[in-house]
Chains A and B, each alone.
Chain A
Amino acid sequence: MKKLVAALLLAVMVFSFVLTSCGGTTTTTTTETTTAAPSTTEGKGPELDPNKPVDIEDFTMPEGGFDTTKPVTITFYHTMGENLRTVLDSYIVEFNKLYPNITIKHEQVGGYDDVRDQISKEIPAGLQPNIAYCYPDHVALYNIAKAVQTLDTLIGSTVTVTRADGTTETIGFTEAQLNDFIPGYYEEGKQFGDDKMYSLPFSKSTEVLYYNKTFFDKHNLKVPTTWDEMEETMQKIVEIDPMAIPLGYDSESNWFITMCEQLGSDYTSATGEHFLFDNETNRNFVKRFREWYQKGYVTTQEILGSYTSSLFTTTDVIKSYMSIGSSAGATHQRPAKIDGAYPFEVGIAPIPQINPDKPKVISQGPSVTILKDDNPQEVLASWLFIKFLTTSTDFQAEFSMASGYVPVLKSVGEHPIYKAEFLDKANGGEYIAALSAKVCLEQADAYYTSPAFNGSSKARTQVGSLLTACLVNSDGGNVDAFIKKEFEKAIQECKN
């Protein structure tokens, strides 16, 4: 034991020596570099201005276009569960009938954040996949490494390729294909400040209001369309069931951002000063929601410790009668059957608005992006594949039916099977996914997206934590000062 203590002492001495000598040399070197290169003094951090769009090279079409003779393997990271992978596999078989030389390896990499984390770790080592499920802020992150392939050359290409079944395909989009995309979704690929196309929409979802239709009918409650009506409804519910927490809102972040959008107040900006959410309007709505929480009207996923659907579907004493969550999670909002029947019927409506004439709902769901590769054949193969998936009405219809996500093509609404077997059967029980898809399709014009930049995901996380903190914490006697302080803290955290 003595010896170990002595060894520690020795170690301390050795290291303080090393450290002091190190410190000495480094100081001198710094002064040298700063005098030698005064231009670098202004930039804090890397000489990479995140405000400016990254200077990314477009794809150059190789001589002869896509080579259908040489085998090429591409990889695809996504978050699809088993049932969706089955759908994907069946379309890979279809795709391989056209392009037998392309091998597609696809893998479920956890959730969206896992895909992002894994790819951002793989990029420096050059191990990234060819295609990835993405959200706009993922693209912004990969762009720091200039790793995303812009799609403009590919979209506009008129080069043709002869497929294995003898037909020819233009590499770019045809006019009809381009017009079939729901415009709002398509534009999402361009929101990076340089008007270039970075991703294609794959499938979409939004937030919807699930309500306990049985309870609402019984007590003659009106489904709220505005936040004021929401407050009245919650009041009434608590009068009927004093133990209830009337509303569960899953995503604190979405709630905050959607309110900014509905109120027309500032949230973030892709250019200039990024973080603009600390303003009077936003503080006011947060204060209002705090009052709701303190009255026991509302809870969120963070506060509850699990998805609010669990509170909505539970048979416990404390339950909620409304739940705002992803339209793609409709099946989770359905209560478990008791004696072969659902204990209550679920109704689905658009989320409440500030101004019902100008509705705003968040656009969620994955897009797909192509990551750069030295081999242009891999890029072309990836492009042909994502083009196949995003422009195929059949695939979009089948994927939507299996997942509850909304298709990105207008033509899917007219798809005979999709209409007859899905949308027309929509109800609050067995066909709840169809009901949610239907509600989403009806508000396709209301979708909004927020600016994507390096740091946008941080802002998203921060406003979520901010809202939670403002709802639950003690205000120390002065609500306004407390809320103001929390906002300032969130802004500071974003800027770091």
Chain B
Amino acid sequence: MNTNTGIVTMHEKDMKRVQATQKVVKVFVKIALYTFLCIMALIVLFPFYWMIISSLKTLEEYKLAIPTFFPKQIMWSNYVRAFDTANLGRLFLNTMYVGIVSTLLSLVITVLTAFAFARLEFKGKDLLFGALLATMMIPGELFTITNYITVVKFGWYQTFTVLIVPFLVSIFYIYLLRQNFMQIPEELYLAAKVDGTSDIKYLWKVMIPLAMPSLISITILKMMGAWNSYIWPRLVANDDAHKMITNGLRNAFTDATGQADFPLQMAAVALVSAPLFLVFIFLRKYIMKGVSRSGIKG
């Protein structure tokens, strides 16, 4: 008995010691984890911080050999000047217009197509869907050359149409929405058919509300696409009346005759980035959900 209890106490002691060391290790690991994550987060955030404080400095302060980490004199006027210099008002309007119109049209087309692929039966459905998915592989540059010829032939050069129509159909969005539609039980559809509900009505009353999260994701991604598009607009609509935000931003400060005014540039960049950030703050969930399945930026 004696020995036995002795062994037990030994065990208990060991256990306690092990538990204690485990606790210490756990705390250390936690500290290390948080330190690492915080450092990485700071690195990730730094460009944003630098953009904002630089945008508020005077050019003289910006040029100091040893930089200040908070502006001595806050220059809100940089934002006003940047807005004027880069003609941001016009650029915002153009981009919003293209973004909204193309998102609406794109949604209609995507819903119709995804519905056909999810609920309707027709010959060659799988083959067609496979072929469409396959086109996702092809780099966009391959389309650009011919699309460019096509839109010029159509007389769309330097119009809003050229910025909207060629990209209305996105296979990825169709894929995303089809998957979502498929998850809605088919019984609902069959029941609706028995009731004599038309397809369109069913789509409108049942499927669209149920697929709302996907539709919101698509909307946001599409808007972000308009916001970030650069190559195609530069090629086909780079005039002042149709210029999109990214093109305008890039060129506004290279065309200028004066010295490179970094605070001004940074103010413009901050202004251009702000809307996306606002959207992100309010619709974080949908964006992250949509993006995690896309892999395609914008």
A, B from the same assembly: yes
Closest to B148 in A: A121
Query: A4 to B292, alpha carbons, bound, how many Å?
Result: 12
The interface residues of chain A lying within 8 Å CB-to-CB of B293 are 1, 4
Closest to A12 in B: B137
Given contacts A14-B130, A109-B239, contact A309 B137 (CB under 8 A): no
The interface residues of chain A lying within 8 Å CB-to-CB of B133 are 7, 10-11
Evaluate contact between B155 and A125: CB separation under 8 angstroms. Answer: yes
Closest to B138 in A: A15
Given A14, A109, A122, A314, which contacts B157 in the complex, CB threshold below 8 Å? A122
- State whether the Cβ of B281 lies closer than 8 Å to any Cβ in chain A: no
- State whether the Cβ of B200 lies closer than 8 Å to any Cβ in chain A: no
Given contacts A125-B157, A127-B155, contact A306 B258 (CB under 8 A): yes
Closest to B172 in A: A4
Evaluate contact between B134 and A15: CB separation under 8 angstroms. Answer: yes
- State whether the Cβ of B153 lies closer than 8 Å to any Cβ in chain A: yes
Evaluate contact between A11 and B136: CB separation under 8 angstroms. Answer: yes
The interface residues of chain A lying within 8 Å CB-to-CB of B155 are 125, 127
Given contacts A125-B157, A127-B157, contact A11 B258 (CB under 8 A): no
Q: Would you give 20 A-B contacts (Cβ < 8 Å), ordered by A?
A: A3-B179, A8-B137, A11-B133, A11-B134, A11-B136, A11-B137, A12-B137, A14-B131, A14-B134, A121-B152, A122-B152, A124-B149, A124-B152, A124-B153, A125-B153, A125-B155, A125-B157, A309-B257, A310-B258, A314-B259
Query: A309 to B256, alpha carbons, bound, how many Å?
Result: 12
Given B130, B258, B259, B260, which contacts A10 in the complex, CB threshold below 8 Å? B130
The interface residues of chain A lying within 8 Å CB-to-CB of B260 are 305-306
- State whether the Cβ of A332 lies closer than 8 Å to any Cβ in chain B: yes
Query: Which chain B residues in 169-201 approach chain A with CB under 8 Å?
Result: 175, 179
Query: A55 to B157, alpha carbons, bound, how many Å?
Result: 29
The interface residues of chain A lying within 8 Å CB-to-CB of B152 are 121-122, 124-125, 127
Q: How near does chain A come to B162, taking the closest CB pair, in angstroms?
A: 11
Evaluate contact between B257 and A310: CB separation under 8 angstroms. Answer: yes
Closest to B255 in A: A111
Number of B interface residues in the complex (CB < 8 A): 23
Q: How near does chain A come to B200, taking the closest CB pair, in angstroms?
A: 28
B133-165 CB contact bits vs A (8 Å, 1 = yes)?
110111000000000010011010110000000
Q: How near does chain A come to B46, taking the closest CB pair, in angstroms?
A: 24
Evaluate contact between B149 and A10: CB separation under 8 angstroms. Answer: no
Query: A118 to B134, alpha carbons, bound, how many Å?
Result: 35
- State whether the Cβ of A181 lies closer than 8 Å to any Cβ in chain B: no
Query: Which chain A residues in 454-483 approach chain B with CB under 8 Å?
Result: none
Query: A306 to B257, alpha carbons, bound, how many Å?
Result: 6
Number of A interface residues in the complex (CB < 8 A): 26
Specify the main secondary structure of chain B where it touches its partner.
loop
Closest to B240 in A: A110
Q: How near does chain B come to A9, taking the closest CB pair, in angstroms?
A: 10
Q: How near does chain B come to A119, taking the closest CB pair, in angstroms?
A: 11
Query: Which chain A residues in 94-134 approach chain B with CB under 8 Å?
Result: 109-110, 114, 118, 121-122, 124-125, 127
The interface residues of chain B lying within 8 Å CB-to-CB of A332 are 257
Q: Which residue, of B134, B153, B155, B260, has the highest number of chain A Cβ atoms within 10 A?
A: B134
Evaluate contact between B257 and A15: CB separation under 8 angstroms. Answer: no
Query: A7 to B174, alpha carbons, bound, how many Å?
Result: 14
Closest to A13 in B: B134
Closest to A310 in B: B259
Query: Which chain B residues in 183-227 approach chain A with CB under 8 Å?
Result: none
Q: How near does chain A come to B41, taking the closest CB pair, in angstroms?
A: 26
Q: Which residue, of A4, A118, A122, A124, has the highest number of chain B Cβ atoms within 10 A?
A: A4
Closest to B60 in A: A316
Query: A1 to B294, alpha carbons, bound, how many Å?
Result: 10
Q: How near does chain A come to B294, taking the closest CB pair, in angstroms?
A: 10
Closest to A305 in B: B260
By Cβ-Cβ distance, the 6 closest A-B pairs, closest first, are A11-B134, A125-B152, A310-B259, A11-B137, A7-B133, A14-B134
Q: How near does chain A come to B224, taking the closest CB pair, in angstroms?
A: 20
Query: A8 to B296, alpha carbons, bound, how many Å?
Result: 14
- 16 A-B pairs besides A7-B130, A310-B258 with CB distance below 8 A are A1-B293, A7-B175, A8-B137, A11-B134, A109-B239, A121-B152, A122-B157, A124-B152, A125-B155, A127-B152, A305-B260, A306-B258, A306-B259, A306-B260, A307-B258, A332-B257
Q: How near does chain A come to B153, taking the closest CB pair, in angstroms?
A: 6
Query: A118 to B239, alpha carbons, bound, how many Å?
Result: 9
Q: How near does chain B come to A106, taking the closest CB pair, in angstroms?
A: 15
The interface residues of chain B lying within 8 Å CB-to-CB of A306 are 256-260
Query: A114 to B259, alpha carbons, bound, how many Å?
Result: 23
The interface residues of chain A lying within 8 Å CB-to-CB of B157 are 121-122, 125, 127
Q: How near does chain B come to A176, taking the closest CB pair, in angstroms?
A: 40
The interface residues of chain B lying within 8 Å CB-to-CB of A4 are 175, 293
The interface residues of chain B lying within 8 Å CB-to-CB of A125 are 152-153, 155, 157
Evaluate contact between A307 and B257: CB separation under 8 angstroms. Answer: yes
Query: A8 to B133, alpha carbons, bound, how many Å?
Result: 8
The interface residues of chain B lying within 8 Å CB-to-CB of A109 are 239
B217-261 CB contact bits vs A (8 Å, 1 = yes)?
000000000000000000000110000000000000000111110
Q: How near does chain A come to B145, taking the closest CB pair, in angstroms?
A: 13
The interface residues of chain B lying within 8 Å CB-to-CB of A10 are 130, 133-134
The interface residues of chain A lying within 8 Å CB-to-CB of B136 are 7, 11
The interface residues of chain A lying within 8 Å CB-to-CB of B239 are 109-110, 118
Q: How near does chain B come to A323, taking the closest CB pair, in angstroms?
A: 12
Q: Which residue, of A7, A15, A114, A307, has the highest number of chain B Cβ atoms within 10 A?
A: A7
Closest to B294 in A: A4
Query: A125 to B238, alpha carbons, bound, how many Å?
Result: 17
Q: How near does chain B come to A80, taking the closest CB pair, in angstroms?
A: 14
Evaluate contact between A15 and B258: CB separation under 8 angstroms. Answer: no
Q: How near does chain A come to B164, taking the closest CB pair, in angstroms?
A: 19
The interface residues of chain B lying within 8 Å CB-to-CB of A7 are 130, 133, 136, 175
Query: Which chain A residues in 5-47 approach chain B with CB under 8 Å?
Result: 7-8, 10-12, 14-15
The interface residues of chain B lying within 8 Å CB-to-CB of A3 are 179
Q: Which residue, of B138, B152, B179, has the highest number of chain A Cβ atoms within 10 A?
A: B152
Query: A11 to B139, alpha carbons, bound, how many Å?
Result: 13
The interface residues of chain A lying within 8 Å CB-to-CB of B138 are 15
Closest to A111 in B: B255
Query: A314 to B63, alpha carbons, bound, how many Å?
Result: 14
Query: A310 to B258, alpha carbons, bound, how many Å?
Result: 6
The interface residues of chain B lying within 8 Å CB-to-CB of A127 are 152, 155, 157
Query: A305 to B253, alpha carbons, bound, how many Å?
Result: 11
Q: Which residue, of A8, A14, A309, A314, has the highest number of chain B Cβ atoms within 10 A?
A: A14
